[in-house]
Structure 1
Amino acid sequence: MPATPSLPVQTPVTANAMSPGLVVLTLSLLLGLQPIATDLYLPALPALTAGFGAAMSQAQLTLTALLLAFGVSQMFWGPLSDRFGRRPILLIGMSAFVVASVGSTFSPSIEQLIVWRAVQGAAMGAGVMCARAVVRDLYAPTEGARVMSKGLTGLGVIACASAPLGGLLSDLMGWRLSLMAVAVFGAVTLGVIAWRFEETLHAKNPHALQPRMLLGTWVQIARHPTFCAFALLAATSYCGLFTFLAASPFVFIQVLGMSKTAYGLTMMTMSLSYIVGTFICRRLLPVLGVRRTVAVAAVFTLIGGTSMGVLALMGVQSAWAIMLPFYLFMMGHGVHQPCGQSGAVGPFPKAAGAASALAGFIMMIAAFLVGGWLGKSLAAIQAGSGTVLPLTNGIWLWSVLIALTAWTLVQRFGESRSGPERAVPTDAAQG
């Protein structure tokens, strides 16, 4: 590939008529697609599995297929949004999300449900990817982390309501109504985008879809040490959460004997600890900066994961032996996600869609691989000889990896630098 001139990294702020409150609401709805598509139906997952007479591995596919499609689709949505803008991609993606959610509700077999969930995940990719890109369109990196934290606080509120509502709907009216509630949320989000959202990308990139330029952009992004540090932080933190989301309904309901409603309320308390983490993030960022804030949060992460793992190995199998340590993990997660997601996109103001897509792709591919491992590890629960160890050992492992990333790579490369050696090719970046 011939060399192209380089453009130093800049931090433009795009003028936009949307109020700060509307921006945060939009971010909350778009980022909230993830907990709605996962947390809302998790309490119904054992009943759904039994209703279809499906194997545990098939039940896990309803989650992992969604996440795989979610991750891969962002690699397409990102460049498309850099080329045509965020608004049209959001309208297409959210419309498809509603259709796929309705299809999931009325699926006659587990195989069709898996297909519809994959379509749902691909559509969800447009919303979440654009949310991260919108933050970079409108804000410089440090302020972007604070705004992303506010949006993720909204995600936490949505997650708080999702699991209890899903458990209640499943207990009272069956698991299909839990899936229909996802379609209702998608329709509300589509309405907000259609009526209130204004385009945030005012310098569209006409070269964004050219294969040669797109490949060059992705290579430059993937080689950027700041991107690698923050993308790995976000991915390891999300994998810890995903391990809990995928394993907890079977551990809490089938091993520990919780009702679906009680499990939903337990998930709500987990989300509350995450919200606390996002508030802590916003308080620490102006005082400590991004790198030191992440390092402090990793202390909570490691203490939580290690405590959970040690208690389980000592034979303590109870809901609170899992949840009390996990509250610490989730407080750290409330810091690592806004800092990781905004930090990965920060160095690329003119290729925010592509950077957001690649970061999301890495996160979801990692989660997909974790889901495949969990499907095999949880088979013992379906056979009636379950244990909490697949959950607790998994969280422990991820807490160690998160702390190592936060204390090494983020500390060394977490400060984005300007200059030609940190640039995206001009033709791939300019609008």
Structure 2
Amino acid sequence: MSSPTDAAPNATSSSAVIATPSPVTMAIALALLLATQVLATDVYLPALPMLARDLSAAMPAAQATMSAFVLTFGLAQLLWGPVADRFGRRPVLCAGVALFALASLGAALASDVSAVIGWRAVQGIGVAASVVCARAMLRDVFEPQRGAHVMSHALGGLGLIAVAAPVAGGAIAAVAGWRSTMALLAGLGAGLLAFVVWIVPETARTRNPQATQLRALLGQLRRTMAHPAFRAWTALVCASYGGLMVFLTGSSFLLIEQLGLSMWECGLAVGSNSLVYVAGTFACRRLLARYGLVGTVQRGAMFSAAAGVVLAWAATQPTTSVWAVVLPQWIFALGHSVHQACGQAGAVGPFPRAAGVASALAGFLLALTATAVTLWLGVALSANRPQIYFATLATMAGLTALIAWTLVRRHGAQPT
């Protein structure tokens, strides 16, 4: 049954042709659309130290190329979500993917780090459209538990892309420099735009003419934030993704600058995390069939907690190693794969007629968390103390487990 928090009193039926894609088609579309966020970070992640040297940028400025992307990615979702509820998913997808491709080309041609930061901010705006619409499409077509199952398939495919992205990025950067990673993103963006135009159907069955009006938007945002299930699932996703961002933004400097790995080897280390993540999505689907959304998350949190314990131990050691970086991250990735599939489906579940706004608000809060993490690491890692990296990641892992065992246990199964 729909919750009153999903009220959209002036929603109208769509005059466009609405398709109901199969679960396989949806999983492929979701994987490719969500992949824009992964590609925008993971492809050029191994080249980040090279970018800093080539442009004579200090570490905080180099990290700002990540935080600028994440910040606009979060803010723009608050724009794209209501627009997608008003006009449908396909127009927003086409605009966002085109913007991503153009911004990637601009970053490849940038002459200084300030220009890279600016183009990365534009990239974030484009990627926000893809991710908001992907999550909203999931709710357009499926109920929450079925949606989590389809999302786990999509995240499995996304994980395979994430395995290849840093490896390819490191190899390309080693041969042709960091600019080549941005050129690659521009080409991939153009290909994705063609996929959206020719393959991805419109899934929004209603339009809300008031979705972009300020009063109606603020009212829907307030109702969404007031829903206990939304708060619980969104807090879980934010904490878990915050932990992933610690790894993504801090590991390359730790592995390359302090432990002496090449960009290629760093790409393999980052890619191995994604491979474990894929394995976690298989486990997630089996757990969902047996325990449901909330029960699956309770079990996934055991991996989050175990990773937190190992990371807390690593933070107390005077020296570190590649295994100290990679092994606890593998454990964390197993839990993360569960929390992302269940959390993203659970957050939009109560809002079948306002999925765009719910997806946008969840994405904004997630990006706000990630921005805070990257800004903190940009300053903290300047001191060349790897213990700060381990302590930050341990904190996020422990917080993830705590949220799963308290807020999600209490509110995650509320009727939608």
Note if contact 1:237-1:333 (Cα within 8 Å) is conserved in structure 2: yes
Please give the per-residue CA displacement for 1:56-75, whole angstroms capped at 9, x wherever unaligned. 11101100000000000000
Please give the per-residue CA displacement for 1:226-247, whole angstroms capped at 9, x wherever unaligned. 0000000000000000011111
Equivalent-residue separation in structure 1 for 2:329 and 2:108 (angstroms): 31
Equivalent-residue separation in structure 1 for 2:337 and 2:217 (angstroms): 32
Instruction: Report the TM-score when normalising by structure 1.
Output: 0.92
Equivalent-residue separation in structure 2 for 1:388 and 1:212 (angstroms): 47
Equivalent-residue separation in structure 2 for 1:276 and 1:15 (angstroms): 34
Which residue of structure 2 aligns with residue 348 of structure 1? 351
From 253, 257, 262, the equivalent of 1:254 is 257
Letter of the 1:86 counterpart: R
Equivalent-residue separation in structure 2 for 1:171 and 1:17 (angstroms): 44
Note if contact 1:165-1:264 (Cα within 8 Å) is conserved in structure 2: yes
Equivalent-residue separation in structure 2 for 1:256 and 1:219 (angstroms): 47
Alpha-carbon distance, 1:351 to partner? 0.3
Which residue of structure 2 aligns with residue 414 of structure 1? 412
Which residue of structure 2 aligns with residue 110 of structure 1? 113
Which residue of structure 2 aligns with residue 177 of structure 1? 180
Note if contact 2:297-2:342 (Cα within 8 Å) is conserved in structure 1: yes
Which residue of structure 2 aligns with residue 57 of structure 1? 60
Which residue of structure 2 aligns with residue 383 of structure 1? none
Alpha-carbon distance, 1:23 to partner? 1.5
The yes-or-no answer on 1:400 pairing with 2:398 is yes
From 298, 308, 329, the equivalent of 1:305 is 308
Which residue of structure 1 aligns with residue 153 of structure 2? 150
Letter of the 1:400 counterpart: G
CA distance 1:413–1:249, shift in 2 (3 Å): same
Which residue of structure 1 aligns with residue 26 of structure 2? 23
Alpha-carbon distance, 1:316 to partner? 4.7
Which residue of structure 1 aligns with residue 200 of structure 2? 197
SS at match of 2:206: coil
Which residue of structure 1 aligns with residue 144 of structure 2? 141
Note if contact 1:294-1:335 (Cα within 8 Å) is conserved in structure 2: yes
Which residue of structure 2 aligns with residue 424 of structure 1? none
Which residue of structure 2 aligns with residue 421 of structure 1? none
The yes-or-no answer on 1:365 pairing with 2:368 is yes
Note if contact 1:141-1:343 (Cα within 8 Å) is conserved in structure 2: yes
CA distance 1:59–1:287, shift in 2 (3 Å): same
Alpha-carbon distance, 1:17 to partner? 4.2
Equivalent-residue separation in structure 1 for 2:141 and 2:45 (angstroms): 34
Matches within 5 A, 1:232-381: 232-380=235-383
Note if contact 2:71-2:367 (Cα within 8 Å) is conserved in structure 1: yes
Equivalent-residue separation in structure 2 for 1:353 and 1:239 (angstroms): 22
Letter of the 2:26 counterpart: V
Equivalent-residue separation in structure 2 for 1:8 and 1:313 (angstroms): 47
SS at match of 2:50: helix
Residues 309-318 or 221-230, more deviating: 309-318
Which residue of structure 1 aligns with residue 14 of structure 2? none
Residues 185-194 or 215-224, more deviating: 185-194
Note if contact 1:79-1:353 (Cα within 8 Å) is conserved in structure 2: yes
Alpha-carbon distance, 1:323 to partner? 1.0
Equivalent-residue separation in structure 1 for 2:53 and 2:348 (angstroms): 42
Equivalent-residue separation in structure 2 for 1:302 and 1:6 (angstroms): 35
Note if contact 2:6-2:354 (Cα within 8 Å) is conserved in structure 1: no
Which residue of structure 2 aligns with residue 69 of structure 1? 72
Equivalent-residue separation in structure 1 for 2:343 and 2:6 (angstroms): 22
Which residue of structure 2 aligns with residue 387 of structure 1? 385
Equivalent-residue separation in structure 2 for 1:407 and 1:211 (angstroms): 36
Equivalent-residue separation in structure 2 for 1:258 and 1:191 (angstroms): 37
Which residue of structure 2 aligns with residue 427 of structure 1? none
Equivalent-residue separation in structure 2 for 1:351 and 1:7 (angstroms): 9
Alpha-carbon distance, 1:312 to partner? 3.7
Residues 224-233 or 187-196, more deviating: 187-196
Alpha-carbon distance, 1:156 to partner? 0.6
Equivalent-residue separation in structure 1 for 2:58 and 2:84 (angstroms): 39
Alpha-carbon distance, 1:7 to partner? 7.3
Alpha-carbon distance, 1:314 to partner? 2.7
Equivalent-residue separation in structure 1 for 2:324 and 2:186 (angstroms): 35
Alpha-carbon distance, 1:202 to partner? 1.9
Note if contact 1:305-1:326 (Cα within 8 Å) is conserved in structure 2: no
Equivalent-residue separation in structure 2 for 1:71 and 1:182 (angstroms): 20
In structure 1, stretches of 5+ residues that fail to align are: 381-385, 419-431
Equivalent-residue separation in structure 1 for 2:295 and 2:333 (angstroms): 18
Note if contact 1:9-1:347 (Cα within 8 Å) is conserved in structure 2: no
Alpha-carbon distance, 1:370 to partner? 1.2
Equivalent-residue separation in structure 2 for 1:416 and 1:302 (angstroms): 25
Alpha-carbon distance, 1:305 to partner? 2.1
The yes-or-no answer on 1:215 pairing with 2:213 is no
Which residue of structure 2 aligns with residue 47 of structure 1? 50
Equivalent-residue separation in structure 1 for 2:400 and 2:291 (angstroms): 19
Note if contact 2:51-2:178 (Cα within 8 Å) is conserved in structure 1: yes
Note if contact 1:74-1:358 (Cα within 8 Å) is conserved in structure 2: yes
Instruction: Report the TM-score when normalising by structure 2.
Output: 0.95
Alpha-carbon distance, 1:24 to partner? 1.3
Q: How many residues align?
A: 406
Equivalent-residue separation in structure 2 for 1:209 and 1:36 (angstroms): 30
Residues 71-80 or 17-26, more deviating: 17-26
Equivalent-residue separation in structure 1 for 2:144 and 2:343 (angstroms): 11
Determine what percentage of the aligned residue pairs are the same residue: 44
Equivalent-residue separation in structure 1 for 2:92 and 2:34 (angstroms): 15
Note if contact 1:32-1:154 (Cα within 8 Å) is conserved in structure 2: no
Give the aligned CA root-mean-square deviation in angstroms.
1.6
Alpha-carbon distance, 1:6 to partner? 4.5
